[in-house]
Structure 1
């Protein structure tokens, strides 16, 4: 601060004006990015809650048709036990799972609810009937082990410190809600050995909801504008990143580039080559880091946490180069005191704003 105290009042005003402009620009960026991340997090939590609410409707989804309370339909209790998750590939929008599913019901032994089960948005790779019991008292039970690949378009707005809900959707492919309805078995669970690298499991749950298809499937017994409504069982596993380790791993090169950029403030403005070589090299390093980070995500036109953090980094490099040009201008005008004071002040202002941005934005996403 001694370099600033030695300046005249007019020159101090100049340094203060430049500092306020830069701080204001950073504030706009931080507020916009932090609000975007916070809003996305809240929206994601809301969608997850509605998905596992028996009467909840997620935004953008078709509202389910209500099934009549009475009718000639079979009631089947259904439950699941998730054994393991083979793969979770966010970039490829899919995950693979091995799980058990069982059915228990009273009455017709020929009902066979598991015979034509369907994994919605998924492909059944293997289905094994492990138990098939039909008692004289009318109790019936089936248990299957299923290996399935499930398509899921992950919300990547907050990668790499995001959370996800992995869902298994089970329906009877032959019998709609007028013929068969599920009841969720509260004994459903997940294996204690279930582990997903890089994530921790925060909760699991299951629910039964109605699922409407906007088609009659060409059934001649139905009117062309009618819809099919099925009883759907949903098992959910809530996961989130373990810590900030993956975040730091992705942006390690970017943070190194920013340190290199900030160190350029301690090089004399008259040494044009070294002074501008550091932030210029850091700029290309930051761009390369952005390409690397985005290579982990599916192609998307939306901006996420990766883009916001990269944007802050590129803006910091740009501001450093701009203020270096300003400092070089005053040095050439033989105003070395103002040039030195500008360098020292800009180093502090830009450093504080950059660090604040890289704390506040990820915190709002988390």
Structure 2
């Protein structure tokens, strides 16, 4: 009986040791990672991209990690070869990398130019999934250059966080249908004081509208200026629309740019309709009615146009 107890005791100890070894193997290594954003520039809405320059640092124990070769930024269009500094801190490997990346971005231009954007840079290790490597963000040390980080915009919310990115593939491994990698995310919310830009891009449209309403000043019987001025303003407004569209990405949603130009097109059309009605009254010999239609129609067109512009601009600012 004593031998049986001894055997059971030794078997239990052996089982616990194997379980501890198994747990140790499954525990992923932690990598402390942080960033300092130097600049965000070359923001290009039409090409859906921007360029980011930033420092990254990694502090870790596992000698198998080599971020100079294993670093990946999945949402980058292009990554220039980084400048790498290798050192040690408190007995751990300390890798510092200066990065320059062309990032792809889905710009939200519904309220352009009163838009705010959300930027994200996603950092991963290409070789080790979350079972082998977990990022630990250096929240306190991660910052951005408050003076020169981005021109024309203001960074309203900067933060770093850890996330997980699921790939629904085993990358050729028949024993796995999916892999999950730990990711380090750099997140920035940016916005701008856009009134100057608004005036620059919409001044042509508003001048085109002003040209069209000048047609209310000649007598209703003067055919050429009454119809020539609105048509000329219409072509100018269409040209302004094409210029702005060349700056923006293709979008299926109706943006502020589309709305304001559509209002201008409709207002110019209404100007032509008022002129046509006034001319018809003159042809019938009712000049007093023609002048009344011209005067009141002009007030309605201008007032409605101004009010609608104010409403849609305030909605974009909200």
Residue 151 of structure 2 corresponds to residue 209 of structure 1: no
Aligned to 1:253: 204
- CA shift at 1:109, angstroms? 4.1
Aligned to 2:133: 180
Is the Cα–Cα contact under 8 Å of residues 84 and 193 in structure 1 kept in the other structure? Answer: no
SS at match of 1:316: helix
| TM-score, with length taken from structure 1 | 0.75
Aligned to 1:77: 32
| Aligned counterparts of 1:233 and 1:158: Cα–Cα separation in 2 | 30
> How many aligned residue pairs are there?
292
Residue 290 of structure 2 corresponds to residue 360 of structure 1: no
| Aligned counterparts of 1:352 and 1:104: Cα–Cα separation in 2 | 64
Aligned to 1:269: 220
Aligned to 2:20: none
Q: Deviations over 1:201-242 (max 9, x none)?
A: 22211111111112111123x23xx21111111111221122
Residue 107 of structure 2 corresponds to residue 154 of structure 1: yes
Aligned to 2:85: 130
Residue 133 of structure 2 corresponds to residue 169 of structure 1: no
| TM-score, with length taken from structure 2 | 0.86
| Aligned counterparts of 1:198 and 1:255: Cα–Cα separation in 2 | 24
Q: Deviations over 1:305-327 (max 9, x none)?
A: 21111101000000110111111
Q: Deviations over 1:283-315 (max 9, x none)?
A: 111111111111111234443221111101000
> Which 4+ residue blocks in structure 1 deviate beyond 6 angstroms?
none
Q: Deviations over 1:162-200 (max 9, x none)?
A: 111121110111111111111221121101233434322
By relative contact order (CA 8 Å, sep 6+), the higher-ranking structure is 1
Residue 66 of structure 2 corresponds to residue 112 of structure 1: yes
| Aligned counterparts of 2:86 and 2:219: Cα–Cα separation in 1 | 79
Is the Cα–Cα contact under 8 Å of residues 206 and 236 in structure 1 kept in the other structure? Answer: yes
Is the Cα–Cα contact under 8 Å of residues 160 and 187 in structure 2 kept in the other structure? Answer: yes
- CA shift at 1:135, angstroms? 4.0
Farther off after superposition, 236-245 or 127-136 = 127-136
Q: Deviations over 1:39-96 (max 9, x none)?
A: xxxxxxxxxxxxxxxxxxxxxxxxxxxxxxx942011121111001242111111111
Among 326, 333, 338, which residue is 2:284 paired with? 333
Is the Cα–Cα contact under 8 Å of residues 83 and 193 in structure 1 kept in the other structure? Answer: no
| Aligned counterparts of 1:197 and 1:191: Cα–Cα separation in 2 | 11
Unaligned ranges ≥5, structure 2:
1-24
SS at match of 2:186: strand
Residue 54 of structure 2 corresponds to residue 103 of structure 1: no
- CA shift at 1:354, angstroms? 0.6
| The structure with more radius of gyration | 2
| Aligned counterparts of 1:195 and 1:184: Cα–Cα separation in 2 | 21
Unaligned ranges ≥5, structure 1:
1-69
| Aligned counterparts of 1:159 and 1:170: Cα–Cα separation in 2 | 29
Among 165, 179, 193, which residue is 1:242 paired with? 193
Aligned to 1:140: 93
RMSD of aligned alpha carbons: 1.9
Aligned to 1:296: 247
Aligned to 1:319: 270
SS at match of 1:193: coil
